[in-house]
C-alpha cells in the first residue's frame, strides 16, 4: 500500500501537468520555444507617473478623440523627453504610453502609439 501511495504521489505533479493540456478529448501540444529573439530593454530613468497630463486631458477628448488635437497634445507632453523615448535600448516609450492611460485618463488602445507614432517606434519632434 505504501508503494502505491508513494508511486501515486511522485507522479501527481506530472498527472496534474498533463491534465491541464487534455480537455474534452482534445489534445493540444504547447511549445515553450520562442522563435523571435527579444532583447531585454533597460529600465527608463524617468518616472512619468508625476508628469502633468493636463495638456492631453484638455485637448484630447472623447468620444471622437480627434487625431490632430490628440497627437499635438501628445507631442507637447512627449517631446521634452524625446531623447529617452526614441532610445530603443530603453523601455521609456512603452512606459510613457502606459502611464498616459493610467494617469492621464481613458484613451482608446493604440491612440497615441498607433496614430501619433504611425507605426514608428520614435517621436518626431521639431
Number of domains within the chain: 1
Report if residue 112 sits inside a domain.
yes
pLDDT tens digit string along 62-98? Answer: 899 999 999 999 999 999 999 999 999 999 999 999 9
Residue 99 inside a domain? The answer is yes
- Would 31 be classed as within a structural domain? no
Read off the pLDDT of residues 94-125 as tens digits, 9 standing for 90 and up. 999 999 988 888 898 888 988 888 767 788 88
pTM here is: 0.66
Buried b (16+ CB within 10 A) or exposed e, 65-103: eeeeebbbbbbebbeebbebbbeeebebbebbbebbeee
Residue 80 lies in a domain: yes
Amino acid at each position: 500500500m505504501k508503494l502505491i501511495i508513494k508511486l501515486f504521489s511522485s507522479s501527481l505533479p506530472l498527472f496534474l501537468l498533463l491534465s491541464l493540456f487534455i480537455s474534452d478529448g482534445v489534445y493540444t501540444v504547447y511549445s515553450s520555444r520562442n522563435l523571435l529573439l527579444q532583447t531585454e530593454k533597460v529600465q527608463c530613468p524617468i518616472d512619468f507617473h508625476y508628469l502633468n497630463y493636463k495638456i492631453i486631458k484638455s485637448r484630447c477628448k472623447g468620444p471622437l478623440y480627434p487625431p490632430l488635437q490628440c497627437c499635438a497634445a501628445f507631442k507637447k507632453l512627449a517631446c521634452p523627453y524625446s531623447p529617452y523615448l526614441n532610445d530603443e535600448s530603453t523601455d521609456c516609450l512603452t512606459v510613457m504610453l502606459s502611464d498616459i492611460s493610467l494617469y492621464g485618463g481613458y484613451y482608446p488602445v493604440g491612440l497615441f502609439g498607433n496614430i501619433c507614432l504611425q507605426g514608428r517606434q520614435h517621436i518626431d519632434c521639431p
